Amino acid sequence: YIFGGKNLPSPSVSSTAVHPCDNHFNPELIPLLRNSYLGFSIDSGLALIRKGELTIVSGAPRGGYSGQVAFLRPDPRAKRHLSVELVLSGPGLASSFGYDVAVADFNGDGSRSVTLFGYSLSGNLDVDDNLYPDLAVGSLSDSVFVYRARPVVRVSSTLRVTPDKIDITKEQCDKRTCYFTAQACFSYISHPESFNPKLILNYTFEADIRKNNVRLPPRVGFLGVPRGKLELPGQDMEICTDIKLRLLRDFKDRLHSIPVSVTMSLGSSTQWTSEHVTPILDRFQPNNKVSEITLLNRGCGSDNICQSNLHLQYDFCSRQTENGKSVFRSLSGEDGVAVITPTEEDIALELTVTNWGGDDAHQTRSIISLPDTLRYSDIVSTASEPKVDCTVNDKGTLIDCGLGNPIQRDAEVTFCVMLTTSGISLSTKAVNITLQLQTTSRQDLKPVEAVAKVFFELKLQLYGLTRPSQVSFGQSLEGKSTIKSAEDIGAAVQYEFRITNLGRSLKSFTNASLNLFWPKENSAGKWLLYLSHTSSKGVQSVPCSPVNEIDHLKDVKTCTDGLRCVEIHCPLQGLDSTAMVVLHSRLWNTTFLEDYSSFNYLMITVDATLSLTNSPENTGLKSDRLSTQVKLTVFMEREIEYFTKVAWWIIFLTVIALLLLLAMMVFLLWMVNEIIS
């Protein structure tokens, strides 16, 4: 394609800038070769060439095969045309010089200068005779910029701390104050050797600055101001300054060395004028010096490197009180896995940390992460051991305990974390607690998972009695066909069973059942106890089962004691604290007359047990009274014979005999009295 183009005055000169139509193409008006893309970029500015004159800058990326930029101004003779003031060419073939142009004011003279800063460079000069090469930068805006090199100063420094090693235990630094002295010395060299000014050096002492920037309490403090200024009179002339430090007490980190450093920088001076530039520090040289105070530890061996051997053991326990002291009983089962029961009382997680055969374990901590189902309650430790210091987060699920500083070789620390179980629900099958030991001594410690199963134990107790406890059967023999009501069967007997719940309510938890082995018949199939009906208190009104065994004659099961018994189940739905189940029965008089009339008495026993129905796998009963036996003593009713008639002569002789006996006693008493008198 052909893009000739031509430059025309701006609209203020009543023309357009470019007209691409070849019909109006005039080669004489084009300052560059055809197809140069003149006008691809354009800008304008005042005083670019001469003060007060407008100059148009137009780029031609293809001009001269390397790109050109033309400086144009309105022709004074032909006002509609532009004349060329200057043409700049690109650095190389196809460099697209002039692709974009911009005009700006770099020197602040109110006139915009073209962006040709750096059009020419010169570095082979020393304008201030300081033996450092300076740089001159040229432009096409009547300006030259000179950059003067600053002398480079290399400062040498030394830092010495006395003493540089200390045994805190041996020197008794916990009881008295231990001091140190830090001395820093500085000197400088530069080029050339004749450059020998007085330099002002700023210095700052710092101590116990950790590499990981952890904000920990400092272990040393300065006696005096740790910063200042000093004057270096010339090259290779050393100047020193010192400061005292004191070792603080009751700090925790006694394993790592205490770093002491000094940082330097050049200060300002009035000797530097516009003729002499300010020197700078060598950027390839560090501006600080570091020394260390080594803390000696007897428990870390001859190399002063502590390699601990920490081990963590755990056990879930229940707390009991014996003789006014807390005693912890393990909850671990035969398989080694603990089983905890959610109750109102706290459970204990007993932790034992040992350091058998290891160097001192400094700043030993135990991080305990609890699940949402458990919450922190308290810390219990034995009095013979150092007190365990623990902090807990707001939720009570993250516990950070300091165990000792240090835990010495072959030492052992045991403590218990009391936990509440109120957050455990029926859906909780197990709890997992993450235990992580930490120490600043050398040891790779892995987290430990403390796992315990969850089992809900319902504390139910069962008591039973009969009203009355002893009954007798009559001598009237009645057949089944002659019995018209329950009163005709025999004496009434009530079996009362009281269920006591010492734990949580069963209303929305699970269901329990009262199981009775009812002695319905003897081995010959004859009735013993006829169950007429049942009643209950403290539970929902749910009939016992099987219902056809109550007030009806049906087949029954055989018990192991020779009696034919039927198993009765009475649901205890909605059991809260106490409940009462009463079985109303009748002694079957005919059976006792026919089969047991020769017995002095007969003992009838009813066995009763408690069980859960449709309960989760992690729910069960735990009590020493989940079963009971209720006994009824049955006697044969005996008739008492009364003698109502006695012969008259027997009565007469008896009276005479009594009178004679009385007379004889009176006579004897008279004779004794006479003898005495």
Last residue of a domain, one of 235, 268, 296: 296
Rounded distance, CA 376 to CA 371, Å?
10
Rounded distance, CA 19 to CA 17, Å?
7
Last residue of a domain, one of 242, 267, 296: 296
Rounded distance, CA 610 to CA 440, Å?
57
* Residue given tokens 């200390």 in the structure block: 166
Give the model's pLDDT for residue 78.
56
Rounded distance, CA 17 to CA 556, Å?
121
Task: For residues 464 and 587, state if they share a domain.
Answer: yes
Task: For residues 446 and 327, state if they share a domain.
Answer: yes
Alpha helix (H) residue ranges in 123-250: 168-171
Radius of gyration of the chain (CA): 57
Whether 673 maps to a domain, the answer reads no
Task: For residues 328 and 423, state if they share a domain.
Answer: yes
How many folded domains does the chain comprise? 4
| Coil, helix or strand at residue 12 | helix
CATH code, domain carrying 447: 2.60.40.1510
| Coil, helix or strand at residue 547 | helix
Rounded distance, CA 138 to CA 140, Å?
7
Which residue in 658, 639, 505, 488 sits closest to 577, CA to CA?
505
Rounded distance, CA 66 to CA 37, Å?
12
Mean pLDDT by 10 residues, the chain (677 residues): 39 37 58 79 75 80 82 70 79 70 63 54 73 73 72 93 92 91 95 87 91 73 93 93 93 89 85 69 89 91 89 91 83 85 83 93 94 91 72 93 89 92 85 94 94 86 86 62 66 87 73 85 79 82 78 44 77 83 83 76 84 79 80 71 64 87 87 79
Whether 136 maps to a domain, the answer reads no
Task: For residues 444 and 526, state if they share a domain.
Answer: no
Task: For residues 283 and 330, state if they share a domain.
Answer: no
Sheet containing strand 227-232, edge to edge, reads 165-167, 288-296, 258-266, 199-207, 227-232
Task: For residues 502 and 603, state if they share a domain.
Answer: yes
Task: For residues 84 and 185, state if they share a domain.
Answer: no
Whether 119 maps to a domain, the answer reads no
Rounded distance, CA 60 to CA 48, Å?
19
Tell me, what DSSP letter sits at residue 239?
A: E
Rounded distance, CA 355 to CA 361, Å?
8
Tokens of 390: 């623990």
| Coil, helix or strand at residue 555 | coil
* 30 and 4 Cβ atoms separated by less than 8 Å: yes
Tokens of 550: 């109550």
The whole domain housing 99 covers 25-113
Rounded distance, CA 373 to CA 453, Å?
13
CATH code, domain carrying 173: 2.60.40.1460
Tokens of 619: 């729910």
Neighbouring-strand partners of residue 41: 59
Which residue in 240, 237, 229, 236 sits closest to 266, CA to CA?
229
Task: For residues 331 and 201, state if they share a domain.
Answer: no
Whether 315 maps to a domain, the answer reads yes
| Coil, helix or strand at residue 656 | helix
Which residue in 118, 117, 114, 62 sits closest to 90, CA to CA?
62
Task: For residues 379 and 263, state if they share a domain.
Answer: no
**Chain Cα centroid distance, residue 47:** 72
Task: For residues 277 and 425, state if they share a domain.
Answer: no
Neighbouring-strand partners of residue 60: 68
* 471 and 602 Cβ atoms separated by less than 8 Å: no
Please name the residues in contact with 141: beta carbons below 8 A apart, sequence gap of 6 or more: 48, 106, 107, 113, 114, 116, 117
SS (H, E, C) 657-671: HHHHHHHHHHHHHHH
Task: For residues 282 and 320, state if they share a domain.
Answer: no
Task: For residues 467 and 445, state if they share a domain.
Answer: no
Which residue in 243, 244, 256 sits closest to 168, CA to CA?
256
Whether 650 maps to a domain, the answer reads no
Tell me, what DSSP letter sits at residue 655?
A: H
Percent helix, strand and coil across the chain, each to the nearest 5: 10, 45, 45
Tokens of 439: 């120490």
* 58 and 44 Cβ atoms separated by less than 8 Å: no
Whether 499 maps to a domain, the answer reads yes
Whether 127 maps to a domain, the answer reads no
Give the model's pLDDT for residue 417.
93
Whether 662 maps to a domain, the answer reads no
Rounded distance, CA 70 to CA 400, Å?
77
Rounded distance, CA 438 to CA 252, Å?
14
Positive or negative, the CA dihedral 278, 283, 286, 288 is positive
Strands of 37-164, DSSP E: 41-46, 54-60, 68-74, 82-89, 103-104, 113-114, 120-125, 134-138, 144-147, 152-162
